[in-house]
Amino acid sequence: MPGKMLFASGVGTERARSAAASRRGVRRRKRETLEEKSTRVNAISARLALTYPDVECPLAHQNTFELLVAVMLSAQCTDAAVNKVTPELFRRYPDAAALSRASTREIEALIRTLGLFRAKAKSLQRCAQQLVDEFEGQVPATMEELTKLAGVGRKTANVILGHAFATPGIAVDTHCKRLSNRLGLTRQQDPTRIERDLNRLLPPEQWTGFSHRLIIHGRRVCHARKPNCGGCALRQWCPSREIAAASSGRRRKRPRRQWASALVRPPS
């Protein structure tokens, strides 16, 4: 008897969920196979390449050391903001040896306009010292060595590998994470697991360009709070468009309450 009650309860819960989804106007989608998802992501990649053919790094730099510093500074702030502070930073500290001799206060003074500037100053100084002590002042060219540096995670390492050493890699930042989930390419929230899922779906030669273009698309079109689904080049491959359409369909103006007519009557 308890087993039957539990089964009935499960059926009821499932029916309730289906009814709720139906009321929201969102249809249940058939689960994709890996092959189907791979075909879809390749179509997305091709459209992104047509939409954003230029995949040059927007961070101003002259060499690999400057690129590393700029990418470290770009965490939680815009590329434009980074490009404003790096010219003077690079003029004073043109290489790892010079930066390693600087105090954190000196570095802080130059990057004060950026978010998390104190933590970034410490990471830059420590990273520069590591480059001098362990790599003869040169930026290493492997994921394992790069991620040993202070302030360098897989996202930063993949940017360096892709743009400086032509080594394929998917850089998962907040935009890449958001769009990968909205496009139904992964259900993961951890950047390393998202990177792994995307690696399975795309050939290595597309990794760097795909993640860079996805980041651009997130900044320009698929915004966090209000995505521009109507102007999205990826709309036909995006399962989230159904949710967006259902949400917009529910936004109706509520009639105003006629307080005045209900409480005040005109004189007879």
The C-alpha atoms of residue 65 and residue 94 are separated, in whole angstroms, by 9
Q: Which of 155, 177, 226, 253 is catalytic?
A: 155
133 is catalytic: no
155 is catalytic: yes
Give residue for tokens 């362990």: 134
Q: Which of 173, 177, 190, 253 is catalytic?
A: 173
- Residues with catalytic annotation? 155, 173
